[in-house]
Every structure is written in C-alpha cells, then in structure tokens.
Amino acid sequence: MGRISSPSTCQESVLLFSLWEKHVMLPRELSKQVPKSHLMSEEEWRRLGVQQSLGWVHYMIHEPEPHILLFRRPLPKDEQK
C-alpha cells in the first residue's frame, strides 16, 4: 500500500467530562480500509497514515461517513477544572 499524504484533520474542542474530542477526515478512498467490525487500535489508525500525539483513542464509528474517524483523550490533570 502506498503512503498517503497526511489526512486532513478537523478538530473540535469540546469539554465534556474532561475529554478532548477530535474528528479526522480521511480521503474517501481510504474509508474502504476502515474496519466496520471494531474500533481501531493505535497501530491500525497509524497504519492508515493518521498522525497525532499519544493518548488519542478511536471511540466511535460514524456509519454514515466512515471516512471520518472520531477520537478522544482525557485532558491533562492541570487543564481539568
């Protein structure tokens, strides 16, 4: 499989329950490689070319738009209020 340029990302910062949430938009042709049966491990989403800092977890499959990956991670303790 050829390497893709970085997927475009759209970040929405929503502070619910002390979590950051991020939506990563893959090129539509890569949506065929997103598993429908399970949430991806870090190794799996990095293999697709997603690059982001440590701590992000793929937490939901958005069935109408499988090319959009939904990630979240806890806020650092010093940023929690």
For residue 57, count other CB atoms closer than 10 A to its CB: 16
Widest CA span of the chain, in angstroms?
44
pLDDT category, 2, cuts 50, 70, 90? very low
Kind of pairing, strands 68-74 and 19-25?
A: antiparallel
Taking a C-beta distance cutoff of 8 angstroms, is the pair 26, 7 a contact?
A: yes
**Average pLDDT score, the chain:** 81
pLDDT tens for residues 15-47? 556 788 899 999 988 889 999 999 999 999 999
Average pLDDT of span 74-78: 76
Q: In 3-state terms, what secondary structure has residue 61? A: strand
Residue with tokens 């893959």: 26
Distance CA 81, CA 65 (A): 33
Q: pTM (2 decimals)?
A: 0.74
pLDDT of residue 7: 54
> Which residue type is seen at 64?
P
Confidence of residue 68 (pLDDT cuts 50, 70, 90): very high
